[in-house]
Amino acid sequence: MSSILDILINSTSDIELQNIAKKVKTGQRINDEECIILFEKGSLSFVGTLANYIRENLHQDKTYFNRNFHIEPTNVCVFSCKFCSYSRLYAHKEEGWELSIDQMVDIVKSYDGKPVTEVHIVGGVHPKMNMAYFIELIQKIKKHRPDLHIKAFTAVELDYMFRKAKLTTKEGLKQLHDAGLQSLPGGGAEIFHPEIREAIAGDKVTGEGWLSIHEAAHELGMHTNATMLYGHVEKYSHRVDHMSKLRDLQDKTKGFNTFIPLKFRNANNDMSYINELTTTEDMRMYAIARIFLDNFPHLKAYWPMLGRQNAQLSLSFGVNDIDGTIDDSTKIYSMAGSEEQTPTMSTEELVRLIQQAKRHPIERDTLYNEVFDYNAIAN
């Protein structure tokens, strides 16, 4: 009997695309040039079929989410990334917010008795919030709720914190890890290639710096995520360069859990003149990431940024994770123009969204251990 990939191979007249489909069928890795060919020539149905084949081989219909909330300590930031709608320079700090340690611990306490498994802490890079401040925060959260997984601080925040404290990356991470930090989120990666990074985020940690912080975290036994901000001034070759560097590091350390492509949103920032990409381009991005990143176990669509309907659609284009309940606790995307102005979804809504796409909802913890199988109660 012909498999779906045999049908795809036989019906594709373009030899280069046909060879890529043959590689996927036999489990071979595609190279950077082939990835560019996919971006340039692969139709949505072509890349979608390949990505869905890989997704179902890895995870069948399983689709993960978790119960989480965000804490954003501040939006005051020493940097001025051109795509950022959220930060306020220190000189205008009265327009922003700065949470005290007690206020953040109170946010954690407001979840007492609720079955959340993860707190995600990221924010602007505030010149006065230093290592000692964040170590105290983490210790207090852990003391109050030891079972809550702390996923916190982008490589951008960490790079600044460690430089100010005159610590090496290894020393700084070790101190935070000892205090209770368990994973790193994937933010701050943007586009690694200096040609683009300098144009959109020229004053923060370099691509190499981002990668070396994640490598050091992996060496300490921590898991991390990786993002890529796409759909602005980058070319396809920059996306491939970015994903290729992530794939190389993953070959070395196996420390990444999930890849999260982040669609550029254009409201209220210095890049508002750039049109946002279409849904077709978004789905092609997810699908090609699933095909190229053969050593990443998971591909996440972050619904507060993409919108819930497109997140649902992405489950047919390689995505097997749609993040968590969020609980209206992040402002990054609502300020950048996402239709999700109050990002919160109840577990029931997330489950329904996944089931409507004819997928199998599973609640996970941060490290993808299965917490609850929703098909067990739905049938």
Q: Give residues in contact with ligand V47 (CB under 6 A).
A: 83-85, 185-188, 190, 225, 227, 229, 260, 262, 264-265, 269, 302, 305, 323, 332, 336
| Interacting partner of 186 out of ligand V47, ligand SF4, none (Cβ under 5 to 8 A depending on kind) | ligand V47
Range in contact with ligand SF4 (rule: CB under 6 A) among 41-49, 83-91, 164-172, 300-308: 83-91
45 binds ligand SF4 (CB under 6 A): no
- The distance of Cα 202 from the centroid of its chain, to the nearest Å, equals 21
Closest CA to 92 of 123, 126, 121: 126
Distance CA 89, CA 181 (A): 27
32, 79, 88, 272: residue in contact with ligand SF4 (rule CB under 6 A) = 79
Minimum Å gap between C-beta 273 and ligand V47 is: 13
# residues contacting ligand SF4 (CB under 6 A): 12
Distance CA 155, CA 165 (A): 15
Nearer of residues 220 and 277 to ligand V47, judged by Cβ:
277
Distance CA 209, CA 192 (A): 10
| Interacting partner of 77 out of ligand V47, ligand SF4, none (Cβ under 5 to 8 A depending on kind) | ligand SF4
Q: Which 144-173 residues touch ligand SF4, going by CB under 6 A? A: 156
List 262's β-bridge partners, or say none. 229
Q: Which 312-331 residues touch ligand SF4, going by CB under 6 A? A: none
| Interacting partner of 87 out of ligand SF4, ligand V47, none (Cβ under 5 to 8 A depending on kind) | ligand SF4
Query: Which two tokens mark 320?
Result: 């097997």
Distance CA 100, CA 86 (A): 19
Range in contact with ligand SF4 (rule: CB under 6 A) among 79-87, 127-135, 254-262, 300-308: 79-87
CA distances from 150 to 31, 85, 177 (A): 35, 25, 10
* Helix ranges (DSSP H) in 318-378: 347-356, 375-378
List 119's β-bridge partners, or say none. 69, 150
| Interacting partner of 260 out of ligand SF4, ligand V47, none (Cβ under 5 to 8 A depending on kind) | ligand V47
**Beta carbons of 188 and 205 less than 8 angstroms apart:** yes
List 215's β-bridge partners, or say none. none
List 63's β-bridge partners, or say none. 361
Distance CA 124, CA 101 (A): 15
Q: Which 84-103 residues touch ligand SF4, going by CB under 6 A? A: 84, 86-87
20 binds ligand SF4 (CB under 6 A): no
For the window 189-228, what string marks contact with ligand SF4 as x by the rule CB under 6 A? ------------x--x------------------------
CA distances from 228 to 60, 61, 86, 105, 134 (A): 25, 25, 18, 30, 26
47, 51, 71, 125: residue in contact with ligand SF4 (rule CB under 6 A) = 125
Residues in contact with ligand SF4 by the rule CB under 6 A: 77, 79-81, 84, 86-87, 124-125, 156, 201, 204
